Amino acid sequence: MTSQLSSTSTTPCLLEAWRDYESLLYRWLIKQTHDDVLSADVLQETFLKALQQNEQFCAVQQPRAWLYRTAHHLLIDRYRKQSKTLLVADPEPLPESYDAPPAITGLMACLPKALRRLPDDQRDVIEQCDLGGVTQRDYADAHQLSLPAVKSRIQRARQHLREILLVQCNIQFDDHNRVCCHLRDSD
């Protein structure tokens, strides 16, 4: 991508940062998505966002962090748009080559039960913001709350949901604090 750009039309600090981090960022996106095409698309969108910053990009204290954060946000936006589309369309089965980790697959059945155990206000904020793709700002406006209040509610709701999942689904974690085992639903 960088070979097609001339340094006269693009900020040199952007080109330098892009040369330093493009391949690392691409590998990180592959690890996150397991999809070469999506990773390349998000990588390109990240570069375009950096280009839009123009000279302001040079003022960024940590260009690597900026690029990763931007790519992360673009990836989240993609997944949110995709989940809204999937809610309307008929869900397609996963390809046979996809093997979801057994612990995660088991948790998919446990999550709705755990959500029902949350208080209504906590369940609502989780369902709308985390699962439904509503932005925290939009949620705050719709419920006449401040943005910090919504952020606080989401954090409390997530913590409460985590506690319910730990007990109800008997979750265990590996050395890297990732879900490794889903033993049973203790209903």
Q: Is residue 145 part of a domain?
A: yes
For residue 60, give its domain range: 2-88
Q: What is the pLDDT of residue 166?
A: 79
Q: Is residue 93 part of a domain?
A: no
Q: What is the pLDDT of residue 2?
A: 46
Share of the chain above pLDDT 90, in %: 24
3-state helix/strand/coil string of the chain: CHHHCCCCCCCHHHHHHHHHHHHHHHHHHHHHHCCHHHHHHHHHHHHHHHHHHHHHHHHCCCHHHHHHHHHHHHHHHHHHHHHHHHHHCCCCCCCCCCCCCHHHHHHHHHHHHHHHCCCHHHHHHHHHHHHCCCCHHHHHHHCCCCHHHHHHHHHHHHHHHHHHHHHHCCEEECCCCCEEEECCCCC
Q: What is the pLDDT of residue 85?
A: 54
Q: How would residue 104 be classed by pLDDT, with cut points 50, 70 and 90?
A: low
CATH number at residue 135: 1.10.10.10
| Number of domains observed in the structure of the chain | 2
Q: How would residue 181 be classed by pLDDT, with cut points 50, 70 and 90?
A: low
pLDDT top residue among 132 and 27: 27
CATH number at residue 10: 1.10.1740
Q: Is residue 119 part of a domain?
A: yes
Both 70 and 110 in one domain: the answer is no
Q: What is the pLDDT of residue 106?
A: 61
pLDDT tens profile 135-158: 999 999 999 999 999 999 999 998
pLDDT top residue among 84 and 120: 120
Q: How would residue 125 be classed by pLDDT, with cut points 50, 70 and 90?
A: very high
Of 131-145, 149-163, 171-185, the one with minimum mean pLDDT is 171-185
Both 77 and 125 in one domain: the answer is no
Q: Is residue 123 part of a domain?
A: yes
Question: Mean pLDDT for the chain?
Answer: 79
pLDDT tens profile 3-34: 444 444 557 888 888 888 899 999 989 888 88
